[in-house]
Amino acid sequence: MLNRNLIAGEWTAGSFASRNTSPSDISDLIGEYASADAQDVDRAIEAAAAAFPGWSRATPEFRSDILDRVGTEILARQEEIGRILAREEGKTLPEAIAEASRAGRIFRYFAGEALRLEGERLDSIRAGIEVEIIREPEGVIGIITPWNFPIAIPAWKIAPALAYGNTVVFKPADLVPGCAWIIADVLHRAGIPSGVFNLVMGKGSIVGEVIVRSPRVRAVSFTGSVPTGRRIGVECMERGKKVQLELGGKNPLIVAADADLDVAVNVALNGSYFSTGQRCTASSRLIVDDAIHDKFVEHLVEAMGRLKVDNSLNPGTDVGPVASQSQLEQDLKYIDIGRAEGARLAFGGELIKAETEGYFLKPALFVDSTNEMRINREEIFGPVASVIRVKNYEEAVAVANDTEFGLASGISTTSLKLASDFKRRSQAGMVMVNVPTAGVDYHVPFGGRKASSYGPREQGKHAREFYTSLKTVYVQS
Ligand code: NAD
């Protein structure tokens, strides 16, 4: 059966279809999904523009009830949705169910936020005049998402956009239409009015570009790679659109001399390799104090040896496949680059044969690497991390900050003094002390600094900065 796009409240076939197969088992067909062409996207944008006046003036309670129904259904179906997510993206079934659950909770959180959009009132500096500061929705929002969190990232953009009264044209990554289609189906059945939410699946170069260039789209929220994001940023700027970019990372984890070894190893193992290392917040640079270096590497390699890499649906799998053939090629290319640069592979880096045919890569750990190497400067986005040996904490902080990125950072230490110092000096948007760099809450701001992010933060109540515009009103009565 063909899963269609949702345009103006109608399920629409599109001009061609793409097959969605599993990276754990390329013979496992998840479904066929319609690809939108430029005309489809134009119609979706027109529908969203036409629906905006009604939706933006609907009561917050009306919007809240719909979002609440969506969140409640996703939570109730988290195991079934998680299974589809695990099949199409490749993270393990428990990780995928947790992501589906998080998406449900995000919709429920923003169901509450829809009711809490407050303004301010001040006396003017001029007698007899009152000043009101109010927030209003932007209009049509274009939402463009990557493949690595196929339900959570769409949820954390779509839910606030709708909660605050915007209408949406949503383009998911072409690798993962399954979860996107589920969101559209649930929203549709939850009673979202026609045109308020539109799903247009397909290629970035076709669907994404029409969204970015359309004068009717007021704002674009994008998560993905740096080159695509920067291009979109420039296009939006040239057209006077608001834009929010969540991009790559090269996140450091410092292992201080006084770290609890078990904690440090667990934090590194989780941060570097869970979800196959395909998280923008993954720890890819392990910056380890000379005093603990050898023990840390020995214990991490031991722990990596216990990781089971296999089909994401199999019980006991710790690390699923890489998400696609092209991502696997990128990972292998960087493993070759690391070797050529003189880093030593202490573990993994080779392809694994499983019972099913998929993109299985043994998690890789480089040692003897320096921060100048390409493997430590460029985002690999796979189960590949490298250890950089440093002589003390001061050098560790300098190396941690010596990167064009600034998404997440972490430190493993038992010292309150070092933890407090690192919190202040880290040039990242999110700092973790004795917890993995990846893995965040949905009710607090998410985002980075430097080349990792552009524009206001996502998630939690701070999401309103992007999805609303301030208006200052002066009233003489
Ligand atoms: P990508 O940049 O290739 O694609 C992201 C989205 O942009 C996809 O939907 C794609 O179809 C679309 N796109 C591609 N070309 C386009 C164009 N010309 N115009 C409009 N849209 C276009 O990224 P990806 O490979 O899907 O995802 C991996 C990247 O995402 C990594 O760099 C990762 O760090 C980043 N990421 C960042 C965060 C964050 O919050 N900072 C979170 C997750 C992933």
Establish if 444 belongs to a structural domain.
Answer: no
Residue 430 CB less than 6 A away from ligand 1 = no
Q: Are residues 271 and 241 in the same domain?
A: no
Note the pLDDT of residue 2: 87
Same domain, 194 and 264: no
Do 18 and 35 contact (CB within 8 A), yes or no? yes
Q: Which residue has tokens 């740096």?
A: 226
Distance of alpha carbon 185 from alpha carbon 69, whole angstroms: 12
SS3 114: helix
Q: Residue 191 falls within a domain, yes or no? A: yes
Token pair for 405: 């990125």
CA of 24 to the centre of ligand 1 (A): 22
Query: What pLDDT is stored for residue 237 in this prediction?
Result: 98
Does one domain contain both 46 and 136? yes
Whether 439 maps to a domain, the answer reads no
Q: What pTM value is reported for the model?
A: 0.98
Dihedral over alpha carbons 40, 456, 433, 322 (to 10 degrees):
20
Which domain CATH number covers 289? 3.40.309.10
User: Number of structural domains, the chain?
Assistant: 2
**Do 232 and 356 sit in the same domain of this protein?**
no
Q: Is 445 left (phi over 0), alpha (psi -120 to 50) or beta?
A: beta
The whole-number pLDDT of residue 477 equals: 86
21 and 159 assigned to the same domain: yes
Does 47 lie in the same domain as 193?
Answer: yes
Q: How far is the CA of 453 from the centre of ligand 1 (A)?
A: 12
Q: What are the structure tokens assigned to 296, written together?
A: 């840390």
DSSP state string for 321-352: --S-HHHHHHHHHHHHHHHHHT-EEEE--SB-
Are 320 and 459 part of one and the same domain? no
Distance 188 CA to ligand 1 centre (A): 26
**Ligand 1 atom 31, closest CA:** 225
Let me know if residue 220 belongs to a domain: yes
CA of 367 from ligand 1 middle (Å) equals 29
Q: Do 146 and 121 meet the contact criterion of CB atoms below 8 Å apart?
A: no
Backbone phi, psi, residue 200, to 5°: -130, 105
Q: Is 280 in the pocket of ligand 1 (CB under 6 A)?
A: yes
Paired tokens of 291: 């005093």
Start-end of H helices in 190-247: 209-213, 226-238
Residue 426 sits in the same domain as residue 461? no
327 CB contacts (<8 Å, ≥6 apart)?
Answer: 278, 359, 381, 382
Looking at residue 208, the DSSP 8-state letter turns out to be I
How big is the chain by its Cα radius of gyration, in Å? 23
155 pocket-lining for ligand 1 (C-beta < 6 Å): no
Q: Does a structural domain hold residue 416?
A: yes
Question: Are both 228 and 372 inside the same structural domain?
Answer: no
Query: 125 lies in a domain?
Result: yes
Task: Tell me, yes or no, whether 395 and 461 share the same domain.
Answer: no
The pLDDT profile of the chain, 477 residues, written as one tens digit per residue, is 789 999 999 999 987 899 999 999 999 999 999 999 999 999 999 999 999 999 999 999 999 999 999 999 999 999 999 999 999 999 999 999 999 999 999 999 999 999 999 999 999 999 999 999 999 999 999 999 999 999 999 999 999 999 999 999 999 999 999 999 999 999 999 999 999 999 999 999 999 999 999 999 999 999 999 999 999 999 999 999 999 999 999 999 999 999 999 999 999 999 999 999 999 999 999 999 999 999 999 999 999 999 999 999 999 999 999 999 999 999 999 999 999 999 999 999 999 999 999 999 999 999 999 999 999 999 999 999 999 999 999 999 999 999 999 999 999 999 999 999 999 999 999 999 999 999 999 999 999 999 999 999 999 999 999 999 999 999 998
Hey, how many other C-beta atoms are within 10 angstroms of the C-beta on 128?
A: 9
Q: Does residue 34 lie within any of the structural domains?
A: yes
Task: For ligand 1, pick from 225, 239, 380, 450 the residue to mutate: most ligand atoms within 8 Å of CB.
Answer: 225
Q: Does 70 share its domain with 215?
A: yes
- Same domain flag for 162 and 293: no
Report residue 288 as tokens: 């380890």
CATH number at residue 92: 3.40.605.10
> Does some domain include residue 442?
no
Range of the domain at 44: 2-247+452-476
